Amino acid sequence: MLNLSISTISRALKDHPDISKETREKVQELAATLEYEPNENAVNLRTNNSKEFGVIIPAISNYFYHFFISSLEEEARRYGYSLIILQSGDDPAIEQANVKRCRKARLSGIFISLTSSTEDISEILNLEKVNIPVIFFDKVPPFEACNKVCVGDVHATEIAADTLIKKSKKKILAIFGDKHLSITQARMVAFIDYMQKHHMQKNYNVVHALNPAEAATLLQIAYRSKTKPDAIFCMSDEILTGVMKAVQIEKINVPKDIGIVAISDGFIPQLYYPEITYAETSGYKLGKLAFSRMIACLAGTPFVQNIVAHSVLIPGGSI
Protein backbone atom coordinates (compact mmCIF):
# COMPACT_ATOMS: atom_id res chain seq x y z
CA MET A 1 0.00 0.00 0.00
CA LEU A 2 2.86 2.37 0.63
CA ASN A 3 5.02 0.99 -2.16
CA LEU A 4 7.70 0.00 0.27
CA SER A 5 9.49 -3.28 0.58
CA ILE A 6 8.89 -5.72 3.38
CA SER A 7 12.28 -5.04 4.86
CA THR A 8 11.62 -1.34 4.99
CA ILE A 9 8.37 -1.98 6.77
CA SER A 10 10.06 -4.26 9.21
CA ARG A 11 12.71 -1.68 9.96
CA ALA A 12 10.29 1.21 10.10
CA LEU A 13 8.21 -0.60 12.67
CA LYS A 14 11.11 -1.02 14.98
CA ASP A 15 12.57 2.45 14.57
CA HIS A 16 15.64 1.37 12.72
CA PRO A 17 17.88 4.41 12.08
CA ASP A 18 18.19 3.54 8.41
CA ILE A 19 14.61 4.55 7.84
CA SER A 20 13.72 8.23 7.46
CA LYS A 21 11.46 9.73 10.03
CA GLU A 22 8.90 10.47 7.36
CA THR A 23 8.62 6.90 6.08
CA ARG A 24 8.74 5.55 9.57
CA GLU A 25 5.75 7.57 10.64
CA LYS A 26 3.74 6.71 7.59
CA VAL A 27 4.39 3.03 8.13
CA GLN A 28 3.62 3.07 11.81
CA GLU A 29 0.45 4.98 11.23
CA LEU A 30 -0.81 2.62 8.60
CA ALA A 31 0.17 -0.37 10.70
CA ALA A 32 -1.87 1.05 13.53
CA THR A 33 -4.98 1.65 11.47
CA LEU A 34 -4.67 -1.76 9.88
CA GLU A 35 -4.18 -3.26 13.33
CA TYR A 36 -1.17 -5.06 12.04
CA GLU A 37 0.33 -7.50 14.49
CA PRO A 38 3.53 -9.33 13.74
CA ASN A 39 3.12 -13.08 13.58
CA GLU A 40 4.82 -14.27 16.71
CA ASN A 41 5.57 -17.67 15.32
CA ALA A 42 7.47 -16.16 12.44
CA VAL A 43 9.33 -13.81 14.74
CA ASN A 44 10.16 -16.63 17.08
CA LEU A 45 11.33 -18.80 14.25
CA ARG A 46 13.54 -16.09 12.95
CA THR A 47 14.91 -14.96 16.26
CA ASN A 48 14.78 -18.32 17.96
CA ASN A 49 13.28 -16.79 21.06
CA SER A 50 9.81 -17.36 22.37
CA LYS A 51 9.21 -14.69 24.98
CA GLU A 52 7.67 -17.36 27.12
CA PHE A 53 8.78 -18.77 30.43
CA GLY A 54 7.92 -22.25 31.61
CA VAL A 55 6.90 -22.82 35.19
CA ILE A 56 7.18 -26.41 36.29
CA ILE A 57 5.72 -27.26 39.66
CA PRO A 58 4.47 -30.35 41.43
CA ALA A 59 0.93 -28.95 41.56
CA ILE A 60 -0.79 -25.60 41.56
CA SER A 61 -3.10 -26.51 44.38
CA ASN A 62 -0.75 -25.66 47.12
CA TYR A 63 -0.64 -23.02 49.80
CA PHE A 64 2.41 -21.53 48.26
CA TYR A 65 2.56 -21.87 44.50
CA HIS A 66 -0.33 -19.78 43.41
CA PHE A 67 1.13 -16.79 45.18
CA PHE A 68 4.41 -17.46 43.53
CA ILE A 69 2.92 -17.86 40.08
CA SER A 70 0.75 -14.85 40.50
CA SER A 71 3.75 -12.77 41.43
CA LEU A 72 5.79 -14.15 38.58
CA GLU A 73 3.04 -13.45 36.10
CA GLU A 74 2.81 -9.82 37.17
CA GLU A 75 6.47 -9.31 36.48
CA ALA A 76 6.43 -11.32 33.28
CA ARG A 77 3.68 -9.20 31.84
CA ARG A 78 5.63 -6.05 32.55
CA TYR A 79 8.50 -7.43 30.53
CA GLY A 80 6.34 -8.71 27.69
CA TYR A 81 6.72 -12.35 28.58
CA SER A 82 4.08 -15.00 29.05
CA LEU A 83 4.00 -17.84 31.51
CA ILE A 84 3.37 -21.45 30.64
CA ILE A 85 2.27 -23.59 33.52
CA LEU A 86 3.23 -27.23 33.67
CA GLN A 87 2.29 -29.47 36.55
CA SER A 88 4.23 -32.61 37.34
CA GLY A 89 1.68 -34.08 39.70
CA ASP A 90 4.64 -34.79 41.94
CA ASP A 91 5.73 -37.46 39.46
CA PRO A 92 9.37 -37.29 38.31
CA ALA A 93 8.50 -38.91 35.00
CA ILE A 94 5.96 -36.22 34.13
CA GLU A 95 8.39 -33.64 35.37
CA GLN A 96 10.99 -34.99 32.99
CA ALA A 97 8.50 -34.86 30.14
CA ASN A 98 7.66 -31.30 31.02
CA VAL A 99 11.29 -30.31 30.93
CA LYS A 100 11.48 -31.83 27.49
CA ARG A 101 8.48 -29.87 26.37
CA CYS A 102 10.12 -26.67 27.50
CA ARG A 103 13.20 -27.46 25.51
CA LYS A 104 11.16 -28.38 22.48
CA ALA A 105 9.16 -25.19 22.69
CA ARG A 106 12.41 -23.26 22.98
CA LEU A 107 11.12 -21.27 25.90
CA SER A 108 13.16 -18.31 27.02
CA GLY A 109 13.69 -19.75 30.46
CA ILE A 110 12.16 -21.98 33.06
CA PHE A 111 11.32 -21.80 36.71
CA ILE A 112 11.13 -25.14 38.38
CA SER A 113 10.24 -26.53 41.75
CA LEU A 114 11.18 -30.19 41.97
CA THR A 115 8.91 -33.03 42.93
CA SER A 116 9.59 -34.58 46.29
CA SER A 117 11.12 -37.64 44.66
CA THR A 118 13.19 -36.12 41.86
CA GLU A 119 16.61 -37.74 41.81
CA ASP A 120 18.16 -36.93 38.50
CA ILE A 121 18.33 -33.31 37.48
CA SER A 122 20.90 -33.68 34.74
CA GLU A 123 18.28 -33.21 32.03
CA ILE A 124 17.23 -30.00 33.68
CA LEU A 125 20.75 -28.69 33.94
CA ASN A 126 21.21 -29.56 30.29
CA LEU A 127 18.76 -26.84 29.42
CA GLU A 128 21.46 -24.34 30.28
CA LYS A 129 23.53 -25.83 27.47
CA VAL A 130 20.90 -24.89 24.91
CA ASN A 131 20.79 -21.45 26.41
CA ILE A 132 17.64 -21.81 28.47
CA PRO A 133 18.26 -20.38 31.91
CA VAL A 134 16.89 -22.41 34.77
CA ILE A 135 15.84 -20.94 38.07
CA PHE A 136 15.10 -23.45 40.77
CA PHE A 137 12.74 -22.29 43.45
CA ASP A 138 11.27 -23.60 46.66
CA LYS A 139 12.06 -27.29 46.24
CA VAL A 140 15.60 -26.94 44.97
CA PRO A 141 18.31 -29.52 44.40
CA PRO A 142 20.57 -29.92 47.42
CA PHE A 143 24.12 -29.30 46.34
CA GLU A 144 24.44 -28.50 42.67
CA ALA A 145 25.80 -25.25 41.42
CA CYS A 146 22.70 -23.72 39.98
CA ASN A 147 20.44 -20.74 40.37
CA LYS A 148 18.24 -21.20 43.37
CA VAL A 149 15.71 -18.97 44.98
CA CYS A 150 14.19 -20.26 48.13
CA VAL A 151 12.67 -19.52 51.41
CA GLY A 152 15.19 -18.93 54.15
CA ASP A 153 14.40 -22.04 56.09
CA VAL A 154 16.98 -21.35 58.73
CA HIS A 155 15.98 -17.78 59.23
CA ALA A 156 12.25 -18.48 59.27
CA THR A 157 12.72 -21.33 61.69
CA GLU A 158 14.87 -19.24 63.94
CA ILE A 159 12.52 -16.33 64.29
CA ALA A 160 9.67 -18.72 64.97
CA ALA A 161 11.75 -20.61 67.50
CA ASP A 162 12.86 -17.37 69.01
CA THR A 163 9.33 -16.36 69.93
CA LEU A 164 8.96 -19.66 71.74
CA ILE A 165 12.09 -18.93 73.75
CA LYS A 166 11.09 -15.35 74.44
CA LYS A 167 7.80 -16.60 75.84
CA SER A 168 9.74 -19.01 78.03
CA LYS A 169 7.97 -22.07 76.74
CA LYS A 170 9.32 -25.20 78.34
CA LYS A 171 7.35 -28.05 76.83
CA ILE A 172 7.37 -27.40 73.12
CA LEU A 173 5.87 -29.86 70.70
CA ALA A 174 7.65 -29.25 67.43
CA ILE A 175 5.78 -30.84 64.54
CA PHE A 176 7.60 -31.34 61.26
CA GLY A 177 6.57 -32.91 57.97
CA ASP A 178 7.84 -35.87 56.02
CA LYS A 179 11.37 -36.65 57.17
CA HIS A 180 12.48 -37.37 53.62
CA LEU A 181 11.79 -33.91 52.32
CA SER A 182 14.72 -31.58 52.24
CA ILE A 183 12.57 -28.76 53.51
CA THR A 184 11.80 -30.81 56.59
CA GLN A 185 15.47 -31.58 57.09
CA ALA A 186 16.47 -27.96 56.78
CA ARG A 187 13.89 -26.67 59.18
CA MET A 188 14.42 -29.42 61.67
CA VAL A 189 18.15 -28.97 61.79
CA ALA A 190 17.72 -25.22 62.12
CA PHE A 191 15.25 -25.70 64.92
CA ILE A 192 17.39 -28.13 66.87
CA ASP A 193 20.51 -26.03 66.40
CA TYR A 194 18.80 -22.90 67.54
CA MET A 195 17.39 -24.58 70.61
CA GLN A 196 20.77 -26.04 71.38
CA LYS A 197 22.35 -22.64 71.11
CA HIS A 198 19.91 -21.30 73.65
CA HIS A 199 20.25 -24.22 76.01
CA MET A 200 16.75 -25.45 75.40
CA GLN A 201 17.62 -29.08 74.66
CA LYS A 202 15.35 -30.29 77.40
CA ASN A 203 12.44 -28.17 76.44
CA TYR A 204 11.18 -29.53 73.19
CA ASN A 205 10.03 -32.68 71.53
CA VAL A 206 10.29 -33.23 67.80
CA VAL A 207 7.67 -35.28 65.97
CA HIS A 208 6.72 -35.87 62.35
CA ALA A 209 3.39 -35.88 60.56
CA LEU A 210 2.80 -36.83 56.95
CA ASN A 211 -0.45 -34.91 56.67
CA PRO A 212 -2.79 -32.64 58.61
CA ALA A 213 -4.69 -35.55 60.11
CA GLU A 214 -1.51 -37.02 61.59
CA ALA A 215 -0.54 -33.65 62.99
CA ALA A 216 -3.93 -33.39 64.63
CA THR A 217 -3.61 -36.83 66.17
CA LEU A 218 -0.15 -36.07 67.47
CA LEU A 219 -1.38 -32.97 69.22
CA GLN A 220 -4.41 -34.76 70.64
CA ILE A 221 -2.29 -37.51 72.09
CA ALA A 222 0.17 -35.04 73.56
CA TYR A 223 -2.59 -32.89 74.98
CA ARG A 224 -4.21 -35.80 76.74
CA SER A 225 -0.96 -37.09 78.14
CA LYS A 226 0.22 -36.01 81.54
CA THR A 227 2.98 -33.87 80.10
CA LYS A 228 0.82 -31.49 78.15
CA PRO A 229 2.84 -29.26 75.85
CA ASP A 230 2.75 -25.55 76.51
CA ALA A 231 3.52 -24.60 72.93
CA ILE A 232 3.40 -25.98 69.40
CA PHE A 233 5.81 -25.25 66.61
CA CYS A 234 4.32 -25.94 63.17
CA MET A 235 6.77 -26.36 60.35
CA SER A 236 4.25 -25.53 57.63
CA ASP A 237 0.72 -24.56 56.80
CA GLU A 238 -0.17 -28.16 56.29
CA ILE A 239 0.89 -29.02 59.81
CA LEU A 240 -0.81 -25.92 61.12
CA THR A 241 -4.20 -26.86 59.69
CA GLY A 242 -3.95 -30.23 61.39
CA VAL A 243 -2.94 -28.66 64.67
CA MET A 244 -5.79 -26.20 64.57
CA LYS A 245 -8.21 -28.97 63.87
CA ALA A 246 -7.07 -30.66 67.06
CA VAL A 247 -7.26 -27.36 68.92
CA GLN A 248 -10.89 -27.09 67.93
CA ILE A 249 -11.68 -30.70 68.70
CA GLU A 250 -10.09 -30.57 72.14
CA LYS A 251 -11.31 -27.04 72.75
CA ILE A 252 -7.81 -26.03 73.64
CA ASN A 253 -7.48 -22.47 74.80
CA VAL A 254 -4.96 -20.65 72.65
CA PRO A 255 -2.71 -19.02 73.79
CA LYS A 256 -3.54 -19.60 77.44
CA ASP A 257 -3.19 -23.37 77.53
CA ILE A 258 -0.97 -23.75 74.54
CA GLY A 259 0.89 -21.22 72.44
CA ILE A 260 1.20 -21.77 68.72
CA VAL A 261 3.73 -20.51 66.24
CA ALA A 262 4.11 -21.52 62.61
CA ILE A 263 6.00 -20.99 59.41
CA SER A 264 3.53 -19.93 56.76
CA ASP A 265 2.83 -17.62 53.87
CA GLY A 266 0.01 -16.02 55.78
CA PHE A 267 -3.30 -17.14 54.39
CA ILE A 268 -4.04 -19.93 56.84
CA PRO A 269 -2.93 -18.12 60.03
CA GLN A 270 -5.51 -15.39 59.66
CA LEU A 271 -8.39 -17.82 59.36
CA TYR A 272 -8.32 -18.51 63.07
CA TYR A 273 -8.97 -16.59 66.22
CA PRO A 274 -6.71 -15.71 67.77
CA GLU A 275 -4.76 -15.32 64.56
CA ILE A 276 -1.65 -17.44 64.47
CA THR A 277 1.75 -15.88 64.98
CA TYR A 278 3.98 -16.95 62.14
CA ALA A 279 7.28 -16.50 60.39
CA GLU A 280 6.34 -15.35 56.95
CA THR A 281 7.61 -17.16 53.86
CA SER A 282 6.11 -15.14 51.11
CA GLY A 283 5.52 -16.79 47.77
CA TYR A 284 4.94 -13.33 46.43
CA LYS A 285 8.33 -12.03 47.44
CA LEU A 286 9.96 -15.18 46.19
CA GLY A 287 8.32 -14.73 42.81
CA LYS A 288 9.81 -11.26 42.47
CA LEU A 289 13.23 -12.51 43.46
CA ALA A 290 13.08 -15.42 41.08
CA PHE A 291 12.02 -13.22 38.22
CA SER A 292 14.76 -10.68 38.71
CA ARG A 293 17.24 -13.51 38.83
CA MET A 294 15.87 -14.76 35.52
CA ILE A 295 16.28 -11.35 33.97
CA ALA A 296 19.86 -11.29 35.15
CA CYS A 297 20.47 -14.67 33.53
CA LEU A 298 18.96 -13.53 30.25
CA ALA A 299 21.20 -10.50 30.36
CA GLY A 300 24.08 -12.91 30.52
CA THR A 301 25.18 -12.87 34.13
CA PRO A 302 27.58 -15.76 34.12
CA PHE A 303 27.69 -16.90 37.73
CA VAL A 304 25.00 -18.78 39.57
CA GLN A 305 23.51 -17.55 42.74
CA ASN A 306 21.71 -18.96 45.72
CA ILE A 307 19.15 -16.41 46.81
CA VAL A 308 17.47 -16.80 50.14
CA ALA A 309 14.39 -14.80 50.99
CA HIS A 310 14.31 -13.47 54.51
CA SER A 311 11.29 -13.83 56.71
CA VAL A 312 9.62 -11.54 59.16
CA LEU A 313 7.61 -12.45 62.20
CA ILE A 314 3.94 -11.62 61.78
CA PRO A 315 2.51 -11.46 65.26
CA GLY A 316 -0.92 -12.91 65.84
CA GLY A 317 -2.43 -13.65 69.20
CA SER A 318 -1.57 -17.30 69.37
CA ILE A 319 1.38 -17.12 71.71
Q: For binding to DNA (CB under 7 A), which residues are involved?
A: 3-8, 10-11, 13-14, 17-24, 36-39, 42-43, 45-48
Work out whether 38 is an interface residue with a copy of itself (CB under 8 A).
Answer: yes
Q: Which stretch binds a copy of itself (CB under 8 A): 6-14, 152-160, 199-207, 242-250?
A: 242-250
Q: Which CB atom, from 8 or from 98, has the smaller least distance to DNA?
A: 8
Beta bridge partners of 206: 174
Separation between Cα atoms, residue 175 and residue 62, nearest integer Å: 19
Work out whether 67 is an interface residue with a copy of itself (CB under 8 A).
Answer: yes
Residues contacting a copy of itself: total by CB under 8 A: 45
Q: Which of 13, 30, 31, 86 binds a copy of itself (CB under 8 A)?
A: 86
Q: Which of a copy of itself, DNA, none does residue 18 bind to, with CB < 5 to 8 Å depending on kind?
A: DNA
> Alpha-carbon dihedral of residues 261, 262, 267, 270, nearest 10 degrees?
-10
Smallest separation, CB 152 to DNA (Å): 41
The alpha-helical segments, DSSP class H, found in the chain are 6-13, 21-33, 40-47, 65-78, 92-104, 122-129, 153-166, 182-197, 212-224, 237-249, 283-298
Smallest separation, CB 6 to DNA (Å): 5
Taking every pair of C-alpha atoms in the chain, what is the biggest distance, in angstroms? 92
Do 212 and 245 form a contact (C-beta atoms < 8 A)? Answer: yes
Q: Which CB atom, from 8 or from 71, has the smaller least distance to DNA?
A: 8
Q: Which of 197, 221, 273, 315 binds a copy of itself (CB under 8 A)?
A: 273
Q: Which stretch binds a copy of itself (CB under 8 A): 9-17, 70-78, 158-166, 297-305?
A: 70-78
State whether residue 234 is helix, strand or coil: strand
Q: Which CB atom, from 22 or from 119, has the smaller least distance to DNA?
A: 22
DSSP secondary structure letter of residue 240: H
- 237-to-105, 242, 251, 268 alpha-carbon distances in Å: 35, 9, 20, 7
| 239 half-sphere exposure, CB direction, 13 A CA radius | 25
Q: Which CB atom, from 86 or from 146, has the smaller least distance to a copy of itself?
A: 86
Q: Which of 23, 28, 92, 103 binds a copy of itself (CB under 8 A)?
A: 103
Q: Which CB atom, from 26 or from 106, has the smaller least distance to a copy of itself?
A: 106
Separation between Cα atoms, residue 166 and residue 168, nearest integer Å: 5
Separation between Cα atoms, residue 301 and residue 291, nearest integer Å: 14
Q: Which CB atom, from 105 or from 192, has the smaller least distance to a copy of itself?
A: 105
Q: Which CB atom, from 2 or from 85, has the smaller least distance to DNA?
A: 2
Q: Of 32, 14, 12, 36, whose CA–CA distance to 22 is shortest?
A: 12
Which string of x and - marks every residue 201-240 that binds a copy of itself (by CB under 8 A)?
----------------------------------------
Q: Which of a copy of itself, DNA, none does residue 23 bind to, with CB < 5 to 8 Å depending on kind?
A: DNA
Q: Which amino acid is located at 24 in the chain?
A: R
Q: Of 173, 158, 153, whose CA–CA distance to 216 is shortest?
A: 173
DSSP secondary structure letter of residue 230: S
Q: Which residues bind a copy of itself (CB under 8 A)?
A: 37-42, 44-45, 48, 50, 52, 59-61, 65-67, 69-70, 73-74, 77, 82-87, 89, 94, 100-101, 103-106, 241, 244-245, 248-249, 268, 271-273
